Amino acid sequence: MLDIIDHDRIREIRLARPPVNALTNDLLRALIDAMNAARSCEAIVITGQPGVFSAGLDVPAILGMDLPAMTELFNTLWHAQRAIALSPAPVVFGITGHCPAGGTVLAIHADYRVIDPATALRMGLVDEICEASQCVSRALDVARELCAMPREAMSRTRQMVREDLHELFGAPADADQLSREFAAIGAEMFSVPATRERLAKMFARKR
């Protein structure tokens, strides 16, 4: 579900779960493992497939889950966000296409985001726009620029400017409690009968 590509000091983590990289427990766990394995890299670039980064959470699968399974999914999503937000290496997202909902939730925790739609730039959701075909190469260029900076000074600066994220995700001792709270809220929202009915109708039309 992931392709791992090393570009010298930079590790690219490419989502590879056809057809639309929908986020499941397995994919999110694989992403967490890949982030942990890349902690010693100088920079990390997370990309998707041409035309699609991720369609977000796998809603059809969620509709078939019971409450414990949904809670587990949102718990894993929280830990994936935390792995990106608290990465010791700078994280650049090369958003290669559609990126609604859960895909955006992951991307907002990165250091830098490259994508093509101008609306996202106006909203402040991304840092830069480029041609879709150049998205991955431009994200790698940004990562190389970050790698060229003095390592210790950049690390200290990142820690200061991302202090709000460290506070949001808490110290390791707080992580389990915070993730349980997030998971309970997410599962509860998807358990509302009206919400499930509307989502079922929406995805039935897409089949």
pTM above 0.85, yes or no: yes
Strands 51-52 and 128-129: unpaired
Report the mean per-residue pLDDT for the chain: 91
**Fold assignment, 2-206:** 2-enoyl-CoA Hydratase; Chain A, domain 1 (3.90.226)
For residues 169 and 84, the model is more confident at 84
In this prediction, residue 6 carries a pLDDT of 95
- For residues 127 and 112, give the distance between their C-alpha atoms in angstroms, rounded to a whole number: 6
CB 86 within 8 Å of CB 166: yes
Nearest to 14 by CA among 42, 50, 56, 55: 50
**Beta sheet of 43-47, edge-to-edge order:** 2-7, 10-15, 43-47, 91-94, 112-115, 128-129
Q: Has residue 69 got a pLDDT over 90?
A: yes
In this prediction, residue 24 carries a pLDDT of 96
CB 35 within 8 Å of CB 44: yes
Query: What percent of the chain has pLDDT above 70?
Result: 99
Q: Looking at 5-19, 106-120, 179-193, which range is the least confident one? A: 106-120
Helix ranges restricted to H, the chain: 25-37, 59-63, 67-85, 102-107, 118-123, 135-147, 151-161, 163-169, 172-191, 193-206
